[in-house]
Structure 1
C-alpha cells in the first residue's frame, strides 16, 4: 500500500503549505501562491490513491476528471460525489484560483482524506 502512504504524504504536505506558508489570518490565507500549491498537492494525492485502485492506463497519458468520475460511478455514487467536491475545491478553486477561504480549504482537505481512506479500505478488502 505504498500508493496510500504516498497519497497521505501529499495531504500532509498540502496542509503544511497552508499552515506554514499561506499566512492565515481571520479565516483567510493571504498568500495565494501557497494556496495554489496546496490545492494541487492535495488533489494529486487523491489521484495517486485512485490510480492504485482503478489501475493505470496502458499509455502514460493524463486521465481526465470525467474518466475518474465514470470509473468511480460504477463503484460508489457517494464517493463519486465526494470526488466532484474535492475536484471543485482543491483543483479548481484552490489550485487555479487561489481561493483564500480557510473554511473552503478545510472542506477540501477533509474530502481528500475521506477519498484516500475509502480507497485504502477497498484495497485492504481486495487483498483479503
Structure 2
C-alpha cells in the first residue's frame, strides 16, 4: 500500500510539472527606441539594430517592408515566427506563428520557452539600439 501511495504521488508531481510548460504569449508592445545618437536616429539605423540583435541570437531576420521585419527562430523541431514593427520612436514584437510549441489560440498560450526567447530578443534589440 505504501508503495502505491508513493507511485501515485510521483505521478501527480509529474503531471503537475508537465502541465506547467504553457504560459500566456508574451508580446512586446511599443518599446521606446533609445539610442546614444545625439542626432535623430534613422529608420535604417533601427532596422539594422533589430536585424543585428536577432541574428546574434540565431534568429533569421527578413525585412518585409519599411517598418516591418519577420524573425524566425528554429531550434531542433521547434519554430517561432514573430513580426517586429518599428519606427524611429518605438518597436513591437508580435507572435505570428509557431511549430511544435503547443500554441493554444483559445487560451493564447504557448510553451514557456517561447517567452524566454522573446525576452532575450527584446534585450538584444535594446542593446543594439543603445549602441547607435
TM-score by length of 2: 0.34
When you count helix as a share of all residues, which structure comes out higher? 1
